Structures are given as C-alpha cells and as structure tokens.
Structure 1
Amino acid sequence: MSGLFTSAWRFRSYIAGAIANVFLARFSRSRLGAAWIILNPLAMVAIYALVLSSVLAARMQGIDTPFAYAIYLTAGIAAWALFTDILTRSLTLFIDNGNLLKKVVFPRISLPLIVAGVALIDNLLLLVAIFLIFGLIGHWPGAQIIWLPPLVLLTLGMALALGIILGCLNVFVRDIAQVVPIALQFGFWLTPIVYQAEILPPQLRVLLSYNPLFPLVTAYQDVLVFDRVPRLDLIVILALAVAALLGLALFTFRRASSEMVDVL
C-alpha cells in the first residue's frame, strides 16, 4: 500500500499538471468559464426551491427566515454534488484511459487522484458561491464553519474509495456503469436533502440510519444551516468507515490493476 502513496508523491507534479490541464481545456472556449461549475448545482437548487419551498417551507424546523428552504437545500446539495461528481467520473475512468494505461508507464493511482482533485476544486468554488449567496440573504455561517473542511475530506474519501472500487469492477462487469446512476437517483431521495428527516414517520426514519450519506449530509446541514456542532459520535464512526473503505479500495485497486490492462 505504501508503494502506491510513494509513487503518487513522486508524480505529484504530473497530477497537479493534469488537474490544471482539465480546467484549461474546460474553459478554453467557454465564455462563462468557471461559472459553469456553480451554475449547474445552483440551478438544481433553484428548481427544487421554487417547486417545493411552498410545500415544505412551513415545516422547516429551526430556521427562521423566508429563505429557509433554499438554505437547507443548498447545504445538502454541497455535500451531494462532491460525492456524485467523484463517483460518476470514476465509473468509466479506467476504461476511458485504457490506451494510456497500456502505452505509458506511470502510477495508475494518479488517475483517481486527478479526478478527486478536479472535483474538489469544483466543490470549493461551489462553496464560495454558496457563502456569497448566504451573505446576500443575511445568513452568514457561524463559528461552526471550522467543521466544514473535515466534512469535505470525509466526503472526498468516501466518494474516492467507492469510485475506485466501482471503477475497477466496471472494467470487468460493464453493467456497473448502468446500475450506479440508477442507485444514485434512489440515494438522492433516500437522503434528507430536499426534506428534513423529522417530517418522516418513525419507521422510515430508522431506514435513514442505514444510508452512509445520511450522517454526512446532516453534518453539512448542522454546520451551514443551524450553526451547531455535528454529532461527534456519528462523525467518528463515519471517519472509521471511510478509512476502512479506503483501505479496501486500495487493496482492490492493487489486485485488479495488472489484470485491468489485459481486459482493456
């Protein structure tokens, strides 16, 4: 395992350059440039806010502002966007770079790290836009904002681990790339992003505890919406789970990397 990290560190300039090239290629012929990074998720927030705010705003507990629902929704989208961005990019990562893997000698772990780096920068720009919007509507994040960097890292780690595992499996079983987007659609509605968990019946609320994104999204909402410390017991459990998942992902990648080249 340490060899993977050592190789990635030796090729850190290559990884940083590849991340920069992604942004240069993305914005080279775009008039709006980096604005597209934040327009898509914010457009989703606007649509859901316009459609559902009149129904759910009256039930938003703990937020006393006309923009309560939009604030709550935006906080959840910030976590969901980073997770799904990395996961969906990773699904076909090794297939899309099959020729590169065959012809060029470089640490293959660099590919998911580049994906994670690009998605992280995208998400940081989105968070900056969210803070600006919160400021304009008078909802400044409080002192608990110091919890946001660890939460972003946990989201990054979970998405990267699942992305590596599913990306490796997709090389051998191509149905994976078709199943995951469907699973994500169910996952979105089974995560309290467009609604508060408190409005659900108790028996349905129990099911949310089996969703690994539930404590993560809830923690984002605690920090960005309610300005309170997220539940530390859930954060510790989640951190241990992410660490174990990353270990499994690296083990899977190391075992599958040599066979992937033959299949590709």
Structure 2
Amino acid sequence: MIQRLRFAWAYRDFVMSSILNEQRIRFAGSKLGGVWMLLHPLLEVSMYALILSSLMASRLKGLSGPFSYAIYLTAGSMAWSLFSEIINRCLSVFTANAHLLKKISFPAMCLPLIISGSALVSNLLLLAAVTAIFGLVGHLPSLQMLFVPLLIVATLTLALGIGLILGTLNVFMRDIGQIMPVVLQFAFWFTPIVYPIDVIPQPYRWIYQFNPMFQIVSAYQDVLVFHRMPALSGVLVVLLVGIVLITLAVLLYSRAKPEIVDML
C-alpha cells in the first residue's frame, strides 16, 4: 500500500494536470463554462424544493422561514452529490482507461486520485456558492463549518472504497455498471435528504443505522443547517469503514490485475 502511494506521489504532476484538463474538457464549448457545475445541482434542489416545500417545511424542527426546506435539502444534497459522483465514475475507472492500465509503468492508483480530485473541486466550488447563497437569505455560517473538511474526507473515503471495489468487479461482471445507478437511486431515497428523519415512524428508524450515508448526511445538516456539532462518533465509524474498504479494494485489484488487463 505504501509503495503504491509513493508511485502515485511520483505522478502527482500528472494527477494535477489531469484534474485541471478534465475540468476544461468538461465544459469546452459551453458559453457558461464552469457555471454549469453549480447550476445543475442548484436547479435540481430548486425543483425538489418547489414541489415538496409546502409538505416538508412544517416538519423541520428548529428551523423556520421561507427558505428553511431549501436550506435543509441543499445541505444533504451536497453530501450525496460528492458520494454518488465518485461511485458512478469509479464504476468505469478501469474499463474506460484500459489503454493506460496496459502500460506497465503507469500506477493505477492515479486514476481514483484523478476522479476524487475532480469531484472534490466541483464540490468545494458548490460549497462556496451554497454558503454565499445561505448568507444572502439570512442563514449565516457558524463555527461548526470547521467540521466540514472532516465530513468531506469521510465521504470521499467511503465513496472511493465502495467505488473501487465495484469498479474492479465491473471489469468481470459488466451488469454491475448497469444496476448500480438504480441501487444509488434507491439509496438516495433511503437517506434523509429530501425528508427529515422525523417523518419515519420511530419503530423503523433503526434501519437507517445500516446506511452509512445517513451519518454523513445528518452531520452535514447539523453543521450547515442547524449550526450544531455533528455526531462525530458516527462520522468516525464511517471514516474507518471507508479506510477498510479502500484497503480491501487495493488488495482485490492487486490480486486481479493480471486478469483485469486480459479482460480489457
């Protein structure tokens, strides 16, 4: 593992240039350019808020005002967008880069770093935009914002661990790449993003403890919406699970690398 990280560090210039180049290509030829990176998630949040605001706003304990539901929805969506983008891109991380993996000197560790770096840039720009918008509507940031870096790291780690395992398996079972978007859509609704956890009957709430993104999304909402300290024990458990999954992903790829190259 340490050796792989050293190889990746040696290719740091390649990783950074790939992240920047990816951002340029993503919006090449677009009049608004990188603004679309912010508009897409904000428009999606606006759509949900427009439809569900009247139903859900009254159920938000400790939050009031005309923009209360939109603020709540935006906070949870930020965590989910980072998580889902990394997983979706990791699904094809090996199949889409077969030409690079067949080069013996190229460390495969660079590929997930490029994916996570690109997703992180988008998410940080979105965070800056959302913080500014919150401020304009009177919902000013608090000192609890200092926990956001920890939440981002936990989200990245979990998403990379899951994504790399699925990406490796997808080389051999391409159905995984087809079914995972459906699974992620189900997981989205199984996470209290669009609705508060209070709408779930008390006897069934224990089920949510098996969803690691419940801990992350709840922590984002605590910090960005309710201005209170997040449940760090849950976040640290998710971080530990992510580290274990990344270690398993590296071991799985190492064992399967010869077969992966042949399959590609």
Same fold (TM over 0.5): yes
Shift of 1:256: 2.1
Correspondence list, 1:152-171, <5 A: 152-171=152-171
Give the counterpart letter for 1:130 in structure 2. V
Partner of 1:92: 92
The whole-number CA distance in structure 2 between the counterparts of 1:182 and 1:84 is 12
Partner of 2:221: 221
Give the counterpart letter for 1:24 in structure 2. R
Correspondence list, 1:122-201, <5 A: 122-201=122-201
RMSD: 1.1
The whole-number CA distance in structure 2 between the counterparts of 1:203 and 1:240 is 28
Correspondence list, 1:102-121, <5 A: 102-103=102-103, 105-121=105-121
Correspondence list, 1:7-86, <5 A: 7-86=7-86
| TM-score under structure 1 length normalisation | 0.97
The whole-number CA distance in structure 1 between the counterparts of 2:67 and 2:85 is 26
Give the counterpart letter for 1:167 in structure 2. G
The whole-number CA distance in structure 1 between the counterparts of 2:31 and 2:38 is 14
Aligned length: 264
Give the counterpart letter for 2:151 in structure 1. L
Which aligned runs of 4 or more in structure 1 are off by greater than 4 angstroms? none
Shift of 1:258: 2.6
The whole-number CA distance in structure 1 between the counterparts of 2:252 and 2:142 is 41
The whole-number CA distance in structure 2 between the counterparts of 1:21 and 1:59 is 44
* More displaced stretch, 198-207 vs 152-161: 198-207
Q: Deviation digits for residues 40-72 of structure 1, max 9, x if unmatched?
A: 111110000000001111111111222110000
Shift of 1:257: 2.4
Shift of 1:141: 1.4
Shift of 1:104: 6.4
Runs of 5+ consecutive residues of structure 1 not aligned to the other structure: none
Give the counterpart letter for 1:143 in structure 2. L
Q: Deviation digits for residues 202-238 of structure 1, max 9, x if unmatched?
A: 1221111111110010000000000100112212222
The whole-number CA distance in structure 2 between the counterparts of 1:245 and 1:148 is 22
Q: Deviation digits for residues 142-193 of structure 1, max 9, x if unmatched?
A: 1100000000011011111111110000000001001111101110100000
Q: Deviation digits for residues 63-82 of structure 1, max 9, x if unmatched?
A: 12221100000000000000
Partner of 1:243: 243
Shift of 1:250: 1.6
The whole-number CA distance in structure 2 between the counterparts of 1:76 and 1:149 is 15
Q: Percent identity?
A: 48
* More displaced stretch, 28-37 vs 3-12: 28-37
The whole-number CA distance in structure 2 between the counterparts of 1:130 and 1:250 is 35
Alpha-carbon contact 2:72-2:225 (below 8 Å) kept: yes
Give the counterpart letter for 1:63 in structure 2. L
SS of equivalent residue, structure 1 residue 191: coil
The whole-number CA distance in structure 2 between the counterparts of 1:256 and 1:87 is 20
The whole-number CA distance in structure 1 between the counterparts of 2:193 and 2:118 is 24
SS of equivalent residue, structure 2 residue 102: helix
